[in-house]
Structure 1
Amino acid sequence: MTVALRPVRAGDLDQFDVEFAGPHGPGPYQWFGHTPSVRLRRLHQERELLAGDENMLSVTSDATLVGRVEWFRKAWGRVDTSACWEIAIGLFAAHRGHGIGTEAQRLLVDYLFAHTRAERIQVTTDPDNIAEQRAAEKAGFSFEGRVRRAQWRAGTWHDQLLYSALRTL
């Protein structure tokens, strides 16, 4: 199995709409309600979902589209001096549980450290999302702690577990 990241293509957006359309597509920890893809398509047309504060690459396994990775600018102080990237992943249901997510996150960390000045990359996940916790740790992230009531999803607030990877010299 060869996992790779590549720029998002217009057809990928159509497949994301199909795969992530309802609560069963993204899974219980990534369903935030129906969201129009108009903004995403506009950003793709303007900058191919790269070189901004919100970015995306497609994930492939053996050249087949299987999901996407995203990264967002976050700050622990003033954004001009204390910014980092927070990453997220969404795999199509049929491709979860095969190690693709771990490898895709590892590839994204390597990409961001090679092509941005980030010192820190972080990922958050629901305390019940054991698979993502394992994937994050296997991808090189270290557990930092619990952020209480940080995410609104499914009609209630949810804690998030915070993990980070730091640039090595």
Structure 2
Amino acid sequence: MLERFLTDPEATGPFQWLGWSDPGRWRRRWAQDGLLSDEGGQLMVVTGADRLGFVAWRKVVTSRSSYCWNIGAQLLSEARGRGVGTQAQRLLTRYLFAHTPVVRLEADTEMGNIAEQRALEKSGFTREGVLRSTVFRDGQWRDVVRYSLLRDDIASARSPASDRPSAGGAGGERTA
């Protein structure tokens, strides 16, 4: 199923097709480390027996002694628009905060990918800004929007005594 994302432009959707890639790449990684390592990983998104896509994370070194995770999701076209990506990203963020010491998760998406921006906001991420000419796709450089979620954001959202508003507003704003 993952190989469809490397060989079928229709499966990837308008924002994920970056050109042809080696379809054997996933099988080699699976044989090497099960798609899980200290540098990142990939998990399949499933509902019942249906394989709908995957979520991934990769290490971003932020200083000599610290790092954060950059996360992403990719769903097959038939799984989009049903809240599957939002739920998968929520589960991934819980997993990463529960099992790794990071305090920051990041996610980048193309400016025009409004659905992914909304999914990130629904998952508690805060819009931080625009990174210009970051992704080369379909013959041109494209801007991306950077989002983040901090460990403290999760703790604040769970604390009933917290006076911090919940995350989720567009444009880096917090909304109640």
**TM-score, shorter chain, exceeding 0.5:** yes
Taking the TM superposition and a 5 Å limit, the aligned residue runs for 1:83-122 are 83-122=67-106
Unmatched tracts of structure 2, length 5 or more: 156-176
Moved more, 15-24 or 142-151: 15-24
Aligned partner of residue 16 in structure 1, secondary structure: coil
Pair 19,51 (structure 1): closer, same or farther in 2 beyond 3 Å: closer
Q: How does 1:59-138 map to 2 (within 5 A)?
A: 59-78=45-64, 81-138=65-122
Larger radius of gyration: 2
Measured in 1, the distance between the counterparts of 2:8 and 2:52 equals: 17
Cα distance in 2 for partners of 1:87, 1:30 equals 14
Q: What root-mean-square deviation, in Å, do the aligned CA atoms of Structure 1 and Structure 2 show?
A: 1.4
| Structure with more relative contact order (C-alpha pairs < 8 Å, separation 6 or more) | 1
Superposition misfits of 4+ residues, deviation over 6 angstroms: none
Q: Check conservation: 2:104, 2:150, Cα contact below 8 A.
A: yes
Deviates more, 1:22-31 or 1:119-128: 22-31
Distance in 2 separating the partners of 1:58 and 1:161: 24
Q: Report if the CA contact (8 A) 2:59-2:68 is conserved.
A: yes
Deviation at 1:19, TM superposition (A): 5.5
Fraction of identical pairs, as percent: 41
Structure 1 equivalent of residue 28 of structure 2: 42
> Which runs of 5 or more structure 1 residues have no equivalent in the other structure?
1-14
2:44 maps to 1:58: yes
TM-score w.r.t. the length of structure 2 is: 0.82
TM-superposed deviation, 1:51 = 2.2
CA contact (8 A) 2:134 2:141 kept: yes
Q: What residue number does 2:14 align with? A: 28
Q: Secondary structure at the match of 2:37?
A: coil
- Over residues 16-66 of structure 1, what are the superposed CA-to-partner deviations in whole Å (9 max), with x where a residue is unaligned? 223552222111111110111323222211211112313100001134211
Look up the SS of the partner of 1:132 in the other structure: helix
Q: Number of aligned pairs?
A: 153
CA–CA distance in 1 between the matches of 2:49 and 2:147? 29
| Contact kept in structure 1, 2:6 and 2:23, CA below 8 Å | no
Q: What TM-score do you get using the length of structure 1 for normalisation?
A: 0.85
SS at match of 1:149: strand
